[in-house]
Amino acid sequence: MKVLVLLGLAALACLASSQCNCKTMKWATCDGTPCSCFLLTGTDNFKQSLNCQKLIPKCFLMQAEMNRARKGEDTRTIGGKPVESAFVDNDGIYDPVCERDGKFKAKQCNNTEECWCVNSAGVRRTDKGDKNTINCTELEKFAPKVGSQTLNMTNIKIYYVDEKPPTFTMKNLSGGIIAVIVVVVLAVVIGLLALVRTHQH
């Protein structure tokens, strides 16, 4: 009888530990109750903790992949074989610097002295340059003001592509981006006009 109980307990323990894994990230290491998961990132093997209920931010994925590549562990594969063509970004993969929430920092250097600015998907949007001369402006929060008072909005819809135009040497994109900015500005102006009108009545 005792043996049976022990076996039962062992089975339960097995079940519990097998349930502690990360559904959204196969490279994660998971442990403990409650179950928590992390990825090893950076050159210093920083333990980046993960929320496995959500998709893992791309910035963390790239960090983990570079960390594994440095240790000679397998990285992205198709049918068990590593493929270079799995990398879709023009420059290939680099070791990114992430915000705590998994967003890409605006400036990326791949652990070198040569840096560049990226968009929100971590894709390069400027030419590369020296660490000290490249300045990347962070995204600003959209908070229109009237006088010194910040407007309270009940409902706001903004459609944008990527409000930071690339500064590659190709000019034909800027027309489209200006059009997007104009549309957003127009939408805001129309919104403000409507606000003023409703206040007058």
Exposed/middle/buried for residue 124 (C-beta within 10 Å: 0-12, 13-18, 19+) = middle
Positions 62 through 121 that interact with ligand NAG (CB under 6 A): 91-92, 94, 110
Positions 166 through 185 that interact with ligand NAG (CB under 6 A): none
| Residue tagged 């998709």 (tokens) | 55
Are the C-beta atoms of 94 and 87 separated by less than 8 Å? no
x/- map, 147-166, ligand NAG, by CB under 6 A: --x--x--------------
Decide: helix, strand or coil at residue 135: coil
Q: Which of 135, 162, 173, 185 binds ligand NAG (CB under 6 A)?
A: 135
C-beta of 152 vs 169, nearer to ligand NAG: 152
CA dist., res. 25 & res. 184, Å (int): 37
How many residues sit close enough to ligand NAG to count as binding (CB under 6 A)?
A: 8
Q: Is the dihedral of CA 117, 159, 193, 175 positive or negative?
A: positive
CA dist., res. 42 & res. 197, Å (int): 54
Q: Closest approach of Cβ 94 to ligand NAG, in Å?
A: 4
Q: Closest approach of Cβ 180 to ligand NAG, in Å?
A: 25
Please report, as ranges, the residues that interact with ligand NAG according to CB under 6 A.
Answer: 91-92, 94, 110, 133, 135, 149, 152
